[in-house]
Structure 1
Amino acid sequence: MAGEIVEPWDDNIHQMYKQENVIGKGAYGVVYTVTHLPTGRKFAMKKMEMRVSEEGVPQSVIREISSLAVLGKKNHENINTLHESLCSVSNNGTTLAIYMVMDKCDWDLYTFLRDIPRDMPDMQCRVIAMQIFRGVDFLHANNIVHRDLKPQNVLINKDQTVKIADFGLSRTYSSQASFTTTVVTLWYRSPELLLQTSYNSAVDIWAIGCMLSEIYNRRPLFSGQTEAQQLAATFTKLGLPSPAEWPRGAVIERSTYPEHPRLPDNLLFGRMPQEGADLAKWCLDYIPERRCSAQRALTTRFFNGVSHRASSTPLREVN
Structure 2
Amino acid sequence: MELLVEEVGESSSPLPRAFGALSPHGIKNDIYNRLVENGYEEALFNPDFKKQLDAHFDRLPQRRVPSPSSLQIQIPVHEVIFSTVDKPKLLSQLSALLSDVGLNIREAHVFSTVDGYSLDVFVVDGWDVEETDDLDKALEKAISRSERSFTGPSHSMLEKVPTIHPEDGAWEIDRRLLKIGEKIGSGYCGDLYRGVYLGDEVAVKILKSEHINHASKVEFNQEVSILREVQHRNVVRFIGACTNPPNLCIVTEYMPGGNLYDFLHKHNNVPELPLLLKFSIDISKGMDYLHQNNIIHRDLKSANLLLDVDNVVKVADFGVARFKHQGGIMTAETGTYRWMAPEVINHQAYDHKADVYSFAIVLWELATSKIPYEKSTPVQAALGVRKGVRPELPQNMHPGLLNLMQRCWDGNPSKRPSFSEITCELEELLTQVQREREVKLLKK
C-alpha deviation, 1:201, in angstroms: 0.8
**Residues 57/128 of structure 1: CA separation in 2 closer, same or farther (3 Å cut):** closer
Confirm or deny that 1:21 pairs with 2:54.
no
Aligned 8 A contact 2:260 2:303 in 1: yes
Distance 2:242 2:292 in 1: 28
C-alpha deviation, 1:176, in angstroms: 8.7
Q: Which residue of 1 aligns with 2:412?
A: 287
Confirm or deny that 1:174 pairs with 2:325.
yes
Aligned mate of 2:314, from 154, 159, 163:
163
Aligned 8 A contact 1:222 1:233 in 2: no
C-alpha deviation, 1:130, in angstroms: 0.5
Distance 1:175 1:282 in 2: 28
Q: Which residue of 2 aligns with 1:190?
A: 341
Confirm or deny that 1:5 pairs with 2:38.
yes
Q: Deviations over 1:72-123 (max 9, x none)?
A: xxx201111110112455xxxxxx1212110111210011112445442110
Secondary structure of residue in 1 paired with 2:248: strand
Aligned 8 A contact 2:338 2:381 in 1: no
Q: Deviations over 1:152-184 (max 9, x none)?
A: 100012312111110000001139976332311
**Residues 210/20 of structure 1: CA separation in 2 closer, same or farther (3 Å cut):** same
Task: Give 1 or 2 for the bigger CA radius of gyration.
Answer: 2
Q: Which residue of 1 aligns with 2:236?
A: 80
Q: Which residue of 2 aligns with 1:101?
A: 251
Aligned 8 A contact 1:154 1:164 in 2: yes
**Residues 118/48 of structure 1: CA separation in 2 closer, same or farther (3 Å cut):** closer
Q: Which residue of 1 aligns with 2:423?
A: 298
Confirm or deny that 1:32 pairs with 2:183.
no
**Residues 7/14 of structure 1: CA separation in 2 closer, same or farther (3 Å cut):** farther
Aligned 8 A contact 1:217 1:271 in 2: no
Alignment-mate amino acid for residue 191 of structure 1: P
Confirm or deny that 1:49 pairs with 2:208.
yes
Distance 2:380 2:211 in 1: 37
The structure with the largest helix share of the pair is 2
May I ask how many residue pairs the two structures share in their alignment? 267
Aligned-residue CA RMSD (Å): 3.2
Distance 2:413 2:280 in 1: 20
Q: Which residue of 2 aligns with 1:58?
A: 217
Secondary structure of residue in 2 paired with 1:133: helix
Relative contact order, higher structure (CA 8 A, sep 6+): 1
Alignment-mate amino acid for residue 24 of structure 1: G
Structure 2 unaligned spans of 5+: 1-10, 12-34, 46-172, 432-444
User: So what's the TM-score if we normalise by structure 2?
Assistant: 0.54
Structure 1 unaligned spans of 5+: 90-95, 239-262, 307-319
Aligned sequence identity (%): 22
C-alpha deviation, 1:275, in angstroms: 0.7
Aligned 8 A contact 2:299 2:320 in 1: yes
Q: Which residue of 2 aligns with 1:69?
A: 228
Q: Which residue of 2 aligns with 1:231?
A: 383
